[in-house]
């Protein structure tokens, strides 16, 4: 932190942030931002993180959670010196419907590719395909209608989510936590992701990513056929498969590249919903068999 910021902080940097970058936020939430940025060595004035109000279904109350923004992912990837480019977002066909009284036109899906320069000199491509229906934020926990941002800017919001997933696939060591754009409007305990309501940090039952065991090569080989069928049927995207595995294991860059290559089997025109609850259980207590 610069000397100027240290001086400002001594005269209540919290109030400065509440009146500028985080208007309307509580003192406690802004202090969480300061603690997060200090621990991660981030410049708080660049607003690398956001305060996301989320419903805590266990406490039955709303909580403010500190989460990285998509720009923090971009900065981390760029600082690695291995970012070799990010593609323009590729969108699927428009869908027009009325959701809980709100008429909205949105892209069925968005695809983004992140390129990483590997130590071998090769350029690896990591492609994520995200669907609007699976990502949009609702007005509130009692409404299924999209909030104002997702209704007004459906393309831009979905592109951020697809880019975040692609960056997470390409740079799992520095882009692991879900972004604010992805988690806005979600439950604190949804989809197996658990957050500490006080610090906003992701709680990992088996330790931090660097402490997780590497995904066994034999299990990886045995699972490829099943994953290929899931991707080809439109039931699951490569990014979702990688995210599931990485909840319990560290996946190597080469393994992620191989899974990502399964995107060639995706039927782009498919609008089948994901129906894969049964296969997800394969990863419980020891990974895919």
Confidence at residue 203, expressed as pLDDT on a 0 to 100 scale = 38
Looking at the fold, whether 282 and 145 belong to one and the same domain comes out as no
Looking at the fold, whether 153 and 178 belong to one and the same domain comes out as yes
Looking at the fold, whether 73 and 197 belong to one and the same domain comes out as yes
Instruction: Give, in order, the Cα–Cα distances in Å from 245 to each of 80, 116, 200, 233.
Output: 23, 21, 23, 19
Looking at the fold, whether 237 and 168 belong to one and the same domain comes out as no
Looking at the fold, whether 54 and 39 belong to one and the same domain comes out as no
Looking at the fold, whether 59 and 155 belong to one and the same domain comes out as yes
Confidence at residue 263, expressed as pLDDT on a 0 to 100 scale = 64
Q: Which residues of the chain have pLDDT under 70?
A: 1-11, 55-62, 141, 175-177, 180-212, 234-236, 239-240, 243, 247-248, 263-289
Radius of gyration of the chain (CA): 20
CA distance 203 to 205: 6
Q: Which residues pair with 126 in a beta bridge?
A: 114
Asked if residue 67 lies in contact with residue 52, where contact means CB atoms within 8 angstroms, the answer is yes
Q: How many domains does the chain have?
A: 3
Looking at the fold, whether 98 and 232 belong to one and the same domain comes out as no
Confidence at residue 12, expressed as pLDDT on a 0 to 100 scale = 72
Cβ burial, residue 28 (10 Å; 0-12/13-18/19+): exposed
Looking at the fold, whether 59 and 163 belong to one and the same domain comes out as yes
Confidence at residue 96, expressed as pLDDT on a 0 to 100 scale = 94
Looking at the fold, whether 100 and 242 belong to one and the same domain comes out as no
Instruction: Identify the domain containing residue 79 by its residue range.
Output: 50-203
Confidence at residue 19, expressed as pLDDT on a 0 to 100 scale = 80
């Amino acid at each position: 932190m610069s000397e100027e910021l240290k001086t400002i902080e001594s005269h209540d940097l919290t109030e400065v942030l509440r009146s500028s970058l985080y208007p309307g936020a509580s003192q406690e939430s802004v202090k969480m931002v300061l603690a997060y940025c200090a621990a991660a060595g981030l410049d708080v004035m660049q607003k690398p993180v956001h305060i996301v109000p989320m419903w805590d279904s266990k406490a039955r109350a709303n909580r403010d959670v500190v989460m990285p923004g998509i720009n923090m992912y971009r900065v981390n990837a760029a600082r690695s010196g291995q970012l070799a480019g990010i593609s323009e977002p590729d969108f699927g066909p428009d869908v027009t419907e009325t959701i809980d009284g709100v008429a909205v036109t949105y892209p069925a899906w968005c695809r983004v590719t992140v390129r990483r320069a590997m130590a071998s000199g090769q350029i690896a491509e990591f492609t994520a395909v995200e669907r609007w229906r699976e990502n949009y934020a609702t007005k509130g926990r009692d409404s299924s209608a999209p909030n104002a941002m997702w209704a007004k800017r459906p393309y831009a919001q979905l592109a951020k989510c697809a880019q975040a997933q692609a960056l997470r696939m390409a740079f799992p060591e520095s882009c692991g936590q879900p972004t604010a754009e992805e988690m806005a409007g979600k439950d604190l305990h949804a989809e197996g992701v658990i957050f500490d309501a006080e610090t906003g940090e992701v709680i990992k039952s088996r330790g931090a990513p660097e402490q997780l065991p590497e995904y066994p090569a034999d299990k990886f080989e045995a699972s490829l056929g099943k994953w290929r069928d899931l991707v080809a049927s439109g039931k699951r995207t490569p990014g979702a498969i990688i995210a599931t595995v990485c909840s319990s294991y560290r996946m190597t860059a080469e393994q992620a590249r191989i899974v990502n290559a399964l995107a060639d089997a995706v039927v782009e025109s498919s609008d089948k919903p994901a129906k894969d609850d049964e296969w997800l259980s394969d990863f419980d207590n020891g990974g895919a068999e």
